[in-house]
Amino acid sequence: MNIVYNFSAGPAMMPQDVMLKAREEFQNWNQSGSSIMEISHRSEEFIQVAAEAEQDLRDLLNIPDDFKVLFCQGGARGQFSAIPMNLLNGARKTDYINSGYWSYCAYIEAKKYCTPSEICIKKQCDEKIFLLPMSQWNINQNSAYIHYCPNETIDGLSIYEEPVFEKKVIIADFSSCILSRVINVNNYDLIYAGAQKNIGPAGITIIIIKEKMIRCFSKISPSILDYKTILIHQSMFNTPPTFSWYLSGLVFKWLKKQGGLKNIEKLNKKKSDLLYKKIDESDFYINNINDINRSMMNVVFYLKYPQLNHIFLEEADKLGLKYLKGHRIVGGMRASIYNAMPLTGIKTLIKFMSYFENRYG
Ligand SMILES: *Cc1c(COP(=O)(O)O)cnc(C)c1O
């Protein structure tokens, strides 16, 4: 098998070491003679795996004791509904920051349950796209919460500022940047993320929530999306996606072995800096996002001559540089370079980009 570098936005590449470990114990987990996916979620063995995954995640993100970690289903989109259903408590006003595709989707879904204010922070000035800094967000005094998305997976836009709004409930969709850098969990009330971008397997959604936010059972939420129900059943009210949970746990252990988020952040910065430098070096490749809002995870770029797009993709694919096609709504190219993408993948891509420019530029 030739080496393949998978730049897919999600489901995305998994760390090689994790894949090897999963393969090794696929049919015979922990010398039990069974696969982890064949055993009961209520068994002592699985409960141990689940608890370890939570503890490793807590260690990585330094999650304070007054936060609960929930493992749910329904993806990030499930949370677009679960958040208002669980947290409104009769309130109507909420603030939804629009910074791109996914935060806009969250806003549209919230309209079913409340009267969200759409606060657009994506701006353009002299061809440069940028996001308004938090100090300029037009927050409503009496909103029940602020929802925003620190990494817009499709637009390639990121917010690196930590939210500090006096007496405001802060909810953040970390689907495509969770565990990519050091954050201070204390600055948030609820962090959520589908696992299939920067953790690995689809099917599980992680929620990190301040315990005091989970006051009562929601009157309108389906039980499987109700935070209190999930909490009192230790994320096993219904059968959880056990294999995804186990794989996520392996990824957490791998991240710890890499030296934790400080090291991962350094490497992610290095990887994305190299790629943006390559893009900025010539006018053959284009990314017009302001430096401070450029995503470390999803690097969106365009070719000067869009008619070359399909040749670029075809030739890249032949060299094992896969799934570089941009999302259909923005076009161009997108290199998703999550934690699992090694530096050699970036270097191989850059080499190919130089060759391609020389040949066709
Ligand atoms: C992928 C993604 C979603 C949607 O995730 P699902 O798990 O498919 O519902 C939401 N928000 C962001 C930021 C994403 O990257």
| pLDDT tens-digit series, residues 28-56 | 999 999 999 999 999 999 999 999 999 99
Task: Answer yes or no: is 238 a known binding residue.
Answer: yes
Q: Which of 56, 95, 155, 173 is catalytic?
A: 173
Q: Whose CA is nearest to atom 7 of ligand 1?
A: 75
**Is the distance from CB of 265 to CB of 258 less than 8 angstroms?**
no
- Give the pLDDT confidence score for residue 274 in this predicted structure: 98
Q: What is the mean pLDDT of the chain?
A: 97
**pLDDT score of 205 more than 70:** yes
Q: Check residue 326 and report its DSSP letter.
A: P
Quick one: pLDDT at residue 53?
Answer: 98
Q: What is the CA radius of gyration of the chain?
A: 21
- Do residues 7 and 322 lie in contact, with contact meaning Cβ atoms separated by under 8 Å? yes
The beta strands (E) that lie in 29-169 are given as 67-72, 93-98, 115-120, 122-125, 128-131, 146-148, 151-152, 157-158
* pLDDT over 80 at 59, yes or no: yes
On the question of pLDDT at 1 being above 70, the answer is no
Which residue's CA is the nearest one to ligand 1's atom 1? 175
Banded model confidence at residue 277, pLDDT cuts 50, 70, 90: very high
CA distance 159 to 145: 18
Ligand 1 shell residues, CB under 6 Å: 10, 75-77, 102, 149, 153, 173, 175-176, 194, 197
* Catalytic option among 29, 68, 95, 102: 102
Q: Give the number of the atom of ligand 1 that is nearest the alpha carbon of residue 194.
A: 7
Q: Is 348 annotated as a binding residue?
A: no
Residue 330, pLDDT > 90, answer yes
Please check whether residue 335 is in contact with residue 321, taking contact to mean a CB–CB distance below 8 angstroms: no
Residue range 4-25: average pLDDT? Answer: 96
Residues 231 and 1: their CA atoms lie apart, in Å, by: 44
Distance 130 CA to ligand 1 centre (A): 22
Could you give the domains of the chain? 17-257 (3.40.640.10), 260-360 (3.90.1150.10)
Task: Spot the catalytic one: 68, 122, 197, 278.
Answer: 197
In angstroms, the CA 110 to CA 268 distance is 32
Reported confidence tier of residue 361, pLDDT bands at 50, 70, 90: confident
pLDDT in the model for residue 166: 87
Between helix 343-360 and helix 260-281 the angle, nearest 10°, is 0
CA–CA dist 268, 262 (Å, integer): 10
pLDDT at 289 over 80: yes
